[in-house]
Amino acid sequence: MNKTVADLASRWLTRKPETLSEVEHKVLQSAIDRKAVSRNVNESVELHESTGDRLADGIARVGGSWRFILAFLAFLVVWTGLNAWLLGRDSFDPYPFIFLNLILSMLAAIQAPIIMMSQNRQAERDRIDAAHDYAVNLKAEIEIMALHEKLDEIRFQEIILLRDQLRELTEQVGRLAAPASGSAPAR
């Protein structure tokens, strides 16, 4: 049986072939060709990552960790302790810690866009994952429909075979009963 994408689109997806998306077309073609559509999305995404992308992900990973938060909290405590109490009048950043505010502002100005770049890349990766999941799920549904068709065809063939066998048995019983009924005594 020669299947085409148009046949499968109308039979399984109940849609016209021209309304199929590129992904749906590829999935139907993979069903015809008996090829897998699943792949490791992480490998394909990692192949296209630049050094800057990996650096942004690393900074976002560190900047969003408890280790960083606790280390930075310790830094702030040491900074204020040194400048407010230990050094007294000779402190390099006396209260209200203007230099510390400058450092924090510069850190936030650099860290925020880097984290946003990483989040944007993660969102893109999530979109790729979702598209891949859709393709795999669609392929699974199509394969299940194909199995149902095969099972229905097998059942249909079995019913036809049983009907033919029943017809043969009925004819044999009729032939066997015909001579017996002609020679049987009347009561």
Phi, psi of 127, deg, nearest 5: -65, -40
The 10 Å Cβ neighbour count of residue 83 is: 19
Q: Cβ distance 152 to 146 under 8 Å?
A: no
Q: Which pLDDT belongs to residue 186? A: 53
Residue 182 in tokens:
């002609």
Q: Nearest CA to 29 among 40, 19, 17?
A: 17
Q: pLDDT tens digits for the chain (187 residues)? A: 457 888 888 887 888 888 888 888 888 888 888 888 888 888 878 888 889 888 888 988 888 899 999 999 999 999 998 888 877 778 888 888 999 999 999 999 998 999 899 999 899 999 989 999 999 999 999 999 989 999 999 999 999 999 999 999 999 999 888 876 665 555 5
Residue 52 in tokens:
């800057």
Q: Which pLDDT belongs to residue 185? A: 56
Instruction: Look at the block and give the residue holding tokens 């800057």.
Output: 52
Q: Which pLDDT belongs to residue 16? A: 86
Q: Say how far residue 99 (Cα) sits from the centre of its chain.
A: 49
Q: Which pLDDT belongs to residue 184? A: 54
Say if pTM beats, i.e. exceeds, 0.85.
no
Q: Sort 81 into a burial class: Cβ within 10 Å, 0-12 / 13-18 / 19+.
A: exposed
Q: Which pLDDT belongs to residue 89? A: 75
Length of the chain in terms of residues written: 187
Q: Kindly report, residue by residue over 26-52, the tens digit of the pLDDT.
A: 888 888 888 888 888 888 788 888 898
Q: Which pLDDT belongs to residue 48? A: 83
Q: Which pLDDT belongs to residue 1? A: 45
> What is the CB-side half-sphere exposure of residue 104 using CA atoms within 13 A?
10
Domain boundaries, the chain: 1-35, 36-177
